Chain A
Amino acid sequence: MEFNNLSSAQKDVLREIGNIGAGNAATSLSMLLNKRIEMKVPSVSIVNYDELMELIGGPEETIVGLMFRIRGEAPGTVYLLLKVEEAEYLVRKLTGDPEFSLLNNEQNNEMAISALHEIGNIVTGSYLTALSDFTNINMQPSIPYLGIDMAGAILTVGLVELSQVTDFAIIIDTEINRNNESNEGIKGNFFLLPDPDSLTKIFTALGINYDE
């Protein structure tokens, strides 16, 4: 199956999925931080691998990536991607350590990693619950996998399943934003990459014919 020719109705459905999922996720993040969180209208893009890396600043950009495999009827991969500063902000906020730095502070890393895992669990959990309710397809997140490294290295992990079938990835990208009033806050991206066969299942569940 190649992804190159999705109809506009199909793209609308995927965008709606991104919307519902990230809406829920933003709400739980907002509760966690006790701050207002905004999100952008999701975009659905069909991109080749290099274009995927460019979406978050190029393959060499250092990012904090929390990856979850989705298990169940429609398997796939979901990423919560944060810039290093954003992840540091979250850890500082949750651990109460204002000095915390992710890349230099060796001794505190265990605590930080555990805090980031927990954020990932909560936020991605609500993302997938919303998706699961909307499509009526059972989706379970795996445990979180955390990587602080080059975007290329982190994102290719999610491409392995896909890449045996196609040279393109379908990305449902939702950006969450902090409230503009203050400099501190959180900005991140959700990337949802359905496995190739899952797309058909999602469309069928929502009454959209894949071949239309």
Chain B
Amino acid sequence: MNETSMVVKVGIADLNIVKAPDTIRTSGLGSCVGVVIYDSSKKIAGLSHVLLPDSKAAKQVKVNEHKYADTAISCLIRLLLENGARKYALKAKIAGGAQMFQFTSGSDIMRIGQRNAEAVKQKLHELQVPIIATDIGGNVGRTIEFDPVTCTLSIRKINKETFLI
């Protein structure tokens, strides 16, 4: 990595893309899912911080497409293709989808992490993007950073060593 490389930060319910040597990062994923989609030979990667599973459940007049698994992943892929990635070469790595609190009532809203992860996997399957690695579930927060050169996703949890998938 040379000294001019930057870390692009992605906020909640947002997405962005980077080209090498820059890296892309999102912080404090809980029930949210971080979806990285990349083209390894073009050294380009996109990251989406998904907050909710399904845009069809939205009660908003104007839907924020970057917030939902089903719409955000399509947006991200479109953006990657516009910037030189090739559809057939796309691969994905995903992390997050934790359940931060053990709720006693089993309502849907409380299983949001699991539902987010399922929605992300289903959408990637539908769009035929293979999932290469995952770190999903549990009850811990995650900060993730992807490097399009090595195509590794580094994952940090509190009180744990950072590891790569």
Decide yes or no whether A153 CB sits under 8 A from chain B: yes
Chain B residues closer than 8 Å to A49, beta-carbon distance = 11-13, 51
Decide yes or no whether B27 CB sits under 8 A from chain A: yes
Among B69-77, B79-87, B101-109, B123-131, the stretch that binds chain A is B101-109
Are B103 and A53 within 8 A (Cβ)?
no
> Number of A-B pairs whose CB atoms are under 8 Å?
97
Chain B residues closer than 8 Å to A145, beta-carbon distance = 100-103
Are B100 and A147 within 8 A (Cβ)?
yes
Among A35-43, A117-125, A155-163, A170-178, the stretch that binds chain B is A155-163
Q: Which of B31, B58, B158 lies in contact with A156, CB distance below 8 A?
A: B31
Decide yes or no whether A152 CB sits under 8 A from chain B: yes
Given A160-B109, A160-B112, A167-B67, A154 contacting B11 (CB threshold 8 A): no
Interface string of B30-44 (1 = CB under 8 A from A): 111000000000000
Decide yes or no whether B20 CB sits under 8 A from chain A: no
How many angstroms from the CA of A58 to the CA of B159 in the assembled complex?
Answer: 18
Decide yes or no whether B29 CB sits under 8 A from chain A: yes
**A147: nearest residue on chain B (CB-CB)?**
B100
Are A149 and B52 within 8 A (Cβ)?
no
Decide yes or no whether B1 CB sits under 8 A from chain A: no
Are A150 and B109 within 8 A (Cβ)?
no
Are A150 and B13 within 8 A (Cβ)?
no
Given A49-B11, A150-B143, A157-B100, A164 contacting B28 (CB threshold 8 A): no
Are A152 and B141 within 8 A (Cβ)?
yes
Are B30 and A153 within 8 A (Cβ)?
yes
How many angstroms from the CA of A53 to the CA of B140 in the assembled complex?
Answer: 17
Chain A residues closer than 8 Å to B141, beta-carbon distance = 149-150, 152-154
How many angstroms from the CA of A84 to the CA of B143 in the assembled complex?
Answer: 19
Chain A residues closer than 8 Å to B30, beta-carbon distance = 149-150, 152-154, 156-157
Name the distance in Å between B145's Cβ and chain A's nearest Cβ: 11
**B52: nearest residue on chain A (CB-CB)?**
A163
**A156: nearest residue on chain B (CB-CB)?**
B30
Are A164 and B60 within 8 A (Cβ)?
yes
Are A154 and B13 within 8 A (Cβ)?
no
Chain B residues closer than 8 Å to A152, beta-carbon distance = 12, 27-30, 32, 141
Tell me whether chain A's interface is mostly helix, strand or loop, or mixed. Answer: mixed
**A165: nearest residue on chain B (CB-CB)?**
B59
Given A150-B141, A154-B141, A62 contacting B158 (CB threshold 8 A): yes
Are A163 and B67 within 8 A (Cβ)?
yes
Are A163 and B28 within 8 A (Cβ)?
no
Given A60-B143, A149-B158, A157-B101, A166 contacting B51 (CB threshold 8 A): no
Are B51 and A60 within 8 A (Cβ)?
no
Decide yes or no whether B120 CB sits under 8 A from chain A: no
Chain B residues closer than 8 Å to A74, beta-carbon distance = none
How many angstroms from the CA of A156 to the CA of B142 in the assembled complex?
Answer: 13
Chain A residues closer than 8 Å to B58, beta-carbon distance = 164
Are A167 and B64 within 8 A (Cβ)?
yes
Q: Which of A62, A143, A159, A165 lies in contact with B51, CB distance below 8 A?
A: A159
**B99: nearest residue on chain A (CB-CB)?**
A157
How many angstroms from the CA of A59 to the CA of B28 in the assembled complex?
Answer: 5
A residues adjacent to B (C-beta < 8 A) = 49-50, 53, 58-60, 62, 67, 103, 143, 145-154, 156-157, 159-161, 163-167
Provide 10 A-B residue pairs closer than 8 Å at the C-beta atoms, listed in order of the A residue.
A60-B27, A62-B158, A103-B158, A145-B100, A152-B12, A153-B142, A156-B51, A165-B59, A166-B60, A167-B13
